[in-house]
């Protein structure tokens, strides 16, 4: 039997707390680090997450987990952003990126990957719409192979 706590009760506990801050849980992990458990939450929201927001949510979640006595033993909570260069993989990732400049790879023809760069205008039920320099481009979700936010300098 594992000493690791089940992640589902932790997930169910923290998701409403994150929702209060208009944040979503992207990833939840638990592992041993330095003799204690490390509960790591990657969070995101529309427009991205700041360091200040992560610190504030980290403190709130830590206090609430302690009060609920949900996890036995010693543990540390770490809340952070997935990072700017994290690939967009799920429909929800793309929804959070509306209004952002993206670089996406799509397989428009079998075996042929094309790159499209532009601002994400919309995520439709079966496609994404990018505003490019040559006009709007609609790419079916089934053709998307990779997507990343483009950094503006």
Is a pLDDT exceeding 60 seen at residue 1?
A: no
Q: Is-contact 61 77, C-beta < 8 A? A: yes
Eight-class DSSP state of 105: E
Q: Give per-residue pLDDT as tens, 25-79.
A: 988 999 987 888 999 999 988 777 889 999 999 999 999 999 999 888 889 999 9
Architecture of the domain spanning 91-149 = Roll (2.30)
pLDDT band at 2 (very low <50, low <70, confident <90, very high): very low
Q: How far apart are CA 43 and CA 25, in angstroms?
A: 5
> Do the two domains 7-80 and 91-149 of this chain adopt the same fold?
no
Give just the sign of the alpha carbon dihedral 4, 7, 12, 17.
positive
Q: Give per-residue pLDDT as tens, 67-125.
A: 999 888 889 999 998 876 778 878 888 888 889 899 999 998 888 999 999 999 999 99
**Is the CATH code 3.40.50.300 the one for domain 7-80?**
no
Tell me whether strands 36-44 and 75-80 are parallel, antiparallel or unpaired: parallel
Q: How far apart are CA 73 and CA 53, in angstroms?
A: 27
Sequence spans of domains, the chain: 7-80, 91-149
């Amino acid at each position: 039997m594992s000493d690791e706590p089940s992640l589902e009760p932790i997930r169910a506990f923290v998701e409403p707390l994150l929702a209060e801050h208009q944040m979503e849980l992207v990833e939840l992990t638990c592992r041993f680090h330095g003799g204690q458990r490390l509960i790591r939450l990657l969070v995101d929201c529309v427009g991205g997450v700041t360091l200040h927001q992560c610190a504030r949510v980290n403190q709130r979640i830590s206090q609430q987990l302690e009060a609920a006595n949900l996890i036995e033993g010693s543990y540390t909570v770490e809340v952070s952003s997935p990072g700017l260069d994290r690939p967009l993989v799920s429909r929800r990732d793309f929804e959070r990126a509306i209004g952002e400049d993206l670089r996406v790879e799509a397989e428009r023809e079998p075996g042929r990957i094309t790159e499209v760069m532009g601002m994400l205008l919309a995520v439709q039920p079966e496609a994404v719409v990018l505003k490019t320099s040559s006009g709007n481009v609609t790419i079916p979700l089934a053709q998307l192979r990779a997507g990343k936010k483009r950094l503006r300098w």
